[in-house]
Amino acid sequence: MAFVEFLIYGTVLGFILSLLSMGYSLVYGVGGITNLAHGAFYMLTGYVVFWLSNPDYDINLPYNISIIIGLLFITFFGAFIYYALIKPAEHNEILIMIITFALAVFLEQFVSTIEGLQENMMRAIYLDPWLSGSVEILGITFSYQNIVVVTGAFLVIVLTFLFISKTKTGKSIRAVSQDREAAELMGINVDRTLVVTLMISALLAGVAAVLYVPEVDILPISGWDFLLMSMSVVILGGLGSVTGSILGAFIISFARFFTFYYIDTPLGVAFYGVVHLIVIIIVLLIRPQGLFGKKQRT
């Protein structure tokens, strides 16, 4: 029984992490931007959809509309952040890390404040699943939300791949990630490409939130957990490699649940939250470029 749960939860989280880490790795591969606010984007989308749809707050839009508005919001928020914070600090990688870190702290405080205004305590918020109920196949219970997550994530991943390989903007993204100056010389507007990349990254984080929050409640600090998981996936898979991100996502996800279910129970329950951190340290020690890392950004 534990094995089935392990498989289900592992697969679901694997898809979510692949969405998140695809976004993170895209932004790093294209612009050299280490976006430490990536987890905060995830958390922010979840909260925005919650605020829009939950009857406790007075806005109370229908659930589907709030999801669409939430995704649009996070996409344009990503663009806004690029122009306001990231672009002025261009080429200074460490400063960008610090600025995005500051942004992530700010978003966490912001969400805590608004939640604190509504009620006096911090509670984990939840979103209703798209389709409630479950289905039984071969004696195993899958909730509909699990299937929604897997299908939705798979669709989005395929769409992203198609976007990057077929469309003109997608080709500019690949060009800029290979050689920024040459792309500029070829007439590609690098600035616009970076904005689009950041918007895609934010959108992917938003979709991940919309899909996963119904399964696992979130708190303002959850953003950090997902940021670290994305970072560990990207480091394991190799910065700049999308295939590596997806493979790494599933490895980390299954490692996490494996530790939870199968390692000696007290230690396992203890360590499942730090597996990805240990993976980061081990990968950095043994093979810093990750599994499929193609280039080191100097």
Partner 1 sequence: MNEKKESNRQDQQDDKVQIVLTRRPIDEPFKIFSKHMKKRAKTFIEYQVPSAQDNLKSWITSFRGGIGLMGLILVTFIPLMLNDTVYYHTFIMAMIYSIYAASWDLLSGVSGQVSFGQAAYFGIGGYSCAYFIIYLGFDWFPSIFIGGILAILFGLLVAVPCLRFTGPYLALGTLAFSLLLFNLFHMASLSHIFFGEQGIPVPTLSIFSFKGNIITEFLIVLIIMIICIVVMLAIFNSRLGTIFKAIRDDETSTEAAGINTMRYKLYAFMISAFFAGIAGSFYVLHIGKADYNIYSSLMSFYPIIFTLVGGIALISGSVFGAYFYALTNLFLDELFDFFTQMGFFPEFFNNLPTAFISLIFSIILLILIRFTERGIMEPTIKHSKTLWDLIIGK
Site string for partner 1, 208-227 (x = CB under 8 A): ----------------x---
Q: Which is nearer to partner 1, 1 or 285 (CB)?
A: 285
Burial (Cβ within 10 Å: 0-12, 13-18, ≥19) of residue 169: middle
Q: Which is nearer to partner 1, 17 or 157 (CB)?
A: 17
Select from 40, 173, 231, 251 the one that contacts partner 1 (CB under 8 A).
231
131 touching partner 1, by CB under 8 A: no
User: Count of residues binding partner 1 (CB under 8 A)?
Assistant: 39
CB 22 within 8 A of CB 204: yes
Q: Which is nearer to partner 1, 7 or 278 (CB)?
A: 278
189 touching partner 1, by CB under 8 A: no
Burial (Cβ within 10 Å: 0-12, 13-18, ≥19) of residue 39: buried
Q: Nearest CA to 38 among 234, 297, 180?
A: 234
CB 160 within 8 A of CB 22: yes
How many angstroms separate the CA atoms of 94 and 76, rounded?
24
251 touching partner 1, by CB under 8 A: no
Q: Which of residues 86-125 bind partner 1 (CB under 8 A)?
A: 88, 93-95, 97-99, 101-103, 105-106, 109-110, 112-113, 116-117, 120
How many angstroms separate the CA atoms of 259 and 28, rounded?
29
Q: Which is nearer to partner 1, 140 or 284 (CB)?
A: 284
Q: Which is nearer to partner 1, 4 or 269 (CB)?
A: 269
How many angstroms separate the CA atoms of 272 and 291, rounded?
22
In the chain, what is the greatest distance between 2 CA atoms, to the nearest angstrom? 60
State the nearest-atom distance from the C-beta of 106 to partner 1, in Å. 4
Site string for partner 1, 46-85 (x = CB under 8 A): --------------------------------------xx
State the nearest-atom distance from the C-beta of 272 to partner 1, in Å. 10
Pairing mode, strands 134-137 and 140-143: antiparallel
State the nearest-atom distance from the C-beta of 246 to partner 1, in Å. 21
Residue matched to tokens 């399964």: 215
Site string for partner 1, 262-291 (x = CB under 8 A): ----xx-xx--xx--xx-xx--xx--x---
Residue matched to tokens 């129970």: 265
CB 230 within 8 A of CB 39: yes
State the nearest-atom distance from the C-beta of 174 to partner 1, in Å. 22
Total residue count of the chain as it appears in this document: 298
Q: Which two tokens stand for residue 142?
A: 């899958």
Q: Which is nearer to partner 1, 61 or 85 (CB)?
A: 85
CB 90 within 8 A of CB 214: no
Select from 67, 235, 236, 251 the one that contacts partner 1 (CB under 8 A).
235
Contacts of 247 (CB under 8 A, 6+ apart): 237, 291, 292
Q: Which two tokens stand for residue 64?
A: 């589907």
List interacting residues with partner 1 (CB under 8 A): 34, 84-85, 88, 93-95, 97-99, 101-103, 105-106, 109-110, 112-113, 116-117, 120, 224, 228, 231, 235, 266-267, 269-270, 273-274, 277-278, 280-281, 284-285, 288
